Chains A and B, each alone.
Chain A
Amino acid sequence: MDKIPILRMGSYLLVTIQVDLYDRLALNLEADLVQMVQKTSAKGVLIDISAVSIVDSFMGRIIGNIAGMCKILDSETVVVGMQPAVAITLIELGLPLKGVHTALDVEKGMALLKSMIDETNYDDDDDYEGADDLILE
Chain B
Amino acid sequence: MRVPMTLSLSKDTVLVEKEQDVVFLKNRVKEVAVKIKMGLVNQTRLLTAASELVRNMMRYANGGKCHIEVVSSGRVNGVRLTFIDRGPGIPDIAAAMRDGFSTGKSLGLGLPGTKRLVNEFDIKSKVGEGTTVTILKWANG
A interface with B by C-beta (< 8 Å): 20, 22-24, 53-58, 61, 83-86, 88-89, 92-95
For chain B, residues 77 to 132, give those with C-beta under 8 angstroms from any C-beta of chain A: 99, 106-107, 109-110, 112-114, 116-117
B48 lies within 8 A of A56 (CB): yes
- Collect the chain B residues with CB atoms within 8 Å of residue A24's CB: 19
B107 lies within 8 A of A89 (CB): no
Given contacts A23-B55, A95-B107, list 14 more A-B pairs with CB under 8 A: A22-B19, A24-B19, A54-B26, A54-B47, A54-B51, A57-B110, A57-B113, A58-B106, A61-B106, A83-B44, A84-B41, A86-B44, A92-B116, A93-B109
Distance (whole angstroms) from the CB of A21 to the closest CB of chain B: 10
A56 lies within 8 A of B55 (CB): yes
**Which residue of chain B lies nearest to A19 when distances are taken between CB atoms in the complex?**
B23
Distance (whole angstroms) from the CB of B118 to the closest CB of chain A: 10
Given A23-B55, A57-B107, A95-B109, the answer on whether A85 and B23 have CB atoms closer than 8 Å is no
- Collect the chain B residues with CB atoms within 8 Å of residue A22's CB: 19, 22-23
19 contacts between A and B (CB under 8 A): A20-B23, A22-B23, A23-B55, A24-B19, A54-B47, A54-B51, A56-B51, A56-B52, A57-B52, A57-B107, A61-B107, A84-B41, A85-B45, A89-B45, A89-B117, A93-B48, A93-B113, A94-B109, A94-B116
The 5 closest A-B pairs by CB, nearest first: A93-B113, A85-B44, A56-B51, A57-B109, A85-B41
**Which residue of chain A lies nearest to B40 when distances are taken between CB atoms in the complex?**
A85
CA distance A52 to B58 in the complex (A): 22
Instruction: For A95, give its contact among B19, B44, B113 (CB under 8 Å).
Output: B113
Instruction: For A55, give its contact among B40, B48, B55, B110 (CB under 8 Å).
Output: B48
Instruction: For A88, give its contact among B23, B41, B55 (CB under 8 Å).
Output: B41
- Collect the chain A residues with CB atoms within 8 Å of residue B40's CB: 85
A-B pairs with CB below 8 Å: how many? 66
CA distance A88 to B48 in the complex (A): 11
**Which residue of chain A lies nearest to B53 when distances are taken between CB atoms in the complex?**
A56
Which of the listed residues A20, A22, A56, A86 has the most CB atoms from chain B within 10 Å of its own CB?
Answer: A56
- Collect the chain B residues with CB atoms within 8 Å of residue A53's CB: 44, 47
Per-residue A-contact encoding for B21-54, CB less than 8 Å = 1, 0 else: 0110010000000000000110111011001100
Distance (whole angstroms) from the CB of A87 to the closest CB of chain B: 10
Given A54-B44, A55-B48, the answer on whether A92 and B113 have CB atoms closer than 8 Å is yes
**Which residue of chain A lies nearest to B52 when distances are taken between CB atoms in the complex?**
A56
